[in-house]
């Protein structure tokens, strides 16, 4: 047995069923807590994005504004991906997150668009995206990063810039030409989208985390 693996107790079927029933009560309590947390997240106050047309993204189809990323839908989720100019291969953690993005048809059926962005040139982003086999839109945010800096130089607060400046997830709502930032998260706040983690949490060996949790993962084409 691996030295990091905790030995599990072997019991009778009756003892297992009782222990499982006890845990089920705690699981239901956690589920109810998460439901209340989700409701609080939906009730979080929002802030209007000043002049959303100033935030530009380079795409294979030309330049798009922040409003364009909604693709005529009411809601937009943006993932800020760590892939800079000349890096060619993206961050393992960001790539792990993007491997969990579902078929966008399900999101779009709920009037929600999803886009990933990075500061690398769009040609480099597209090459990496094709290598990974990802189907979601993935655009260059280099111009938006410069617009953030210009806005901050004017004394404005950019609430949807990733807290660490590099990676994170931002959520927006659109009302006509008005765009509102409604939510953002980064670091371990992104665990909620990682179905691999949730599956591993059901196993005896768990996540087997190393370092920041990503230590033993690789880009999926490197296994």
pTM check: above 0.85? yes
In this structure, of 66-75, 111-120, 192-201, the range with the lowest mean pLDDT score is 192-201
pLDDT at 214: 67
CATH assignment of the domain containing 148:
3.40.30.10
pLDDT at 187: 87
Under the banding of pLDDT at 50, 70 and 90, the label for residue 30 is very high
Q: What percent of the chain has pLDDT over 90?
A: 80
Average pLDDT over residues 97-120: 96
Average pLDDT over residues 21-42: 94
Q: Is residue 199 part of a domain?
A: no
At 207, phi and psi to the nearest 5?
-75, -20
Q: Is residue 7 part of a domain?
A: no
Q: Is residue 85 part of a domain?
A: yes
pLDDT at 144: 96
pLDDT at 116 over 60: yes
pLDDT at 12 over 90: yes
Looking only at the bridges linking them, the beta strands covering 178-185 and 47-48 are antiparallel
Q: Is residue 194 part of a domain?
A: no
Whether 112 and 74 have beta carbons less than 8 Å apart is answered as yes
Q: Is residue 103 part of a domain?
A: yes
pLDDT at 168: 93
pLDDT at 166: 76
Q: Domain range for residue 104? A: 47-188
pLDDT at 119: 95
pLDDT at 141 over 90: yes
Q: Is residue 4 part of a domain?
A: no
Mean pLDDT of the chain: 92
Q: Is residue 15 part of a domain?
A: no
pLDDT at 217: 85
Q: Is residue 198 part of a domain?
A: no
Total of domains in the chain: 1
pLDDT at 72: 97
């Amino acid at each position: 047995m691996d030295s990091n693996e905790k030995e599990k107790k072997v019991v009778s079927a009756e003892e297992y069923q009782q222990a499982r029933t006890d845990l089920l009560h705690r699981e239901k309590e956690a589920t109810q807590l998460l439901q209340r947390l989700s409701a609080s997240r939906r009730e979080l106050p929002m802030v209007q994005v000043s002049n959303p047309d100033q935030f530009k993204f380079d795409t294979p189809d030309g330049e798009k504004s922040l409003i364009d990323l909604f693709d005529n839908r009411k809601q937009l989720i943006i993932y800020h991906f760590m892939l800079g100019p000349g890096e060619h291969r993206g961050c393992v953690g960001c790539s792990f997150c993007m491997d969990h993005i579902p078929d966008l048809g399900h999101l779009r059926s709920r009037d929600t668009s999803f886009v990933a962005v990075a500061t690398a040139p769009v040609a480099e982003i597209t090459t990496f995206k094709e290598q990974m086999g990802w189907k979601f839109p993935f655009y260059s945010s280099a111009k938006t990063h410069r617009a953030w800096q210009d806005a901050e130089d004017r004394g404005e607060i950019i609430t949807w810039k990733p807290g660490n400046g590099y990676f994170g997830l931002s959520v927006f709502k659109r009302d006509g030409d008005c765009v509102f930032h409604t939510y953002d998260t980064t670091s371990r706040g992104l665990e909620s989208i990682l179905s691999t983690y949730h599956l591993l949490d059901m196993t005896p060996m768990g996540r087997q985390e190393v370092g920041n949790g990503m230590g033993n993962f690789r880009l999926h084409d490197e296994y």
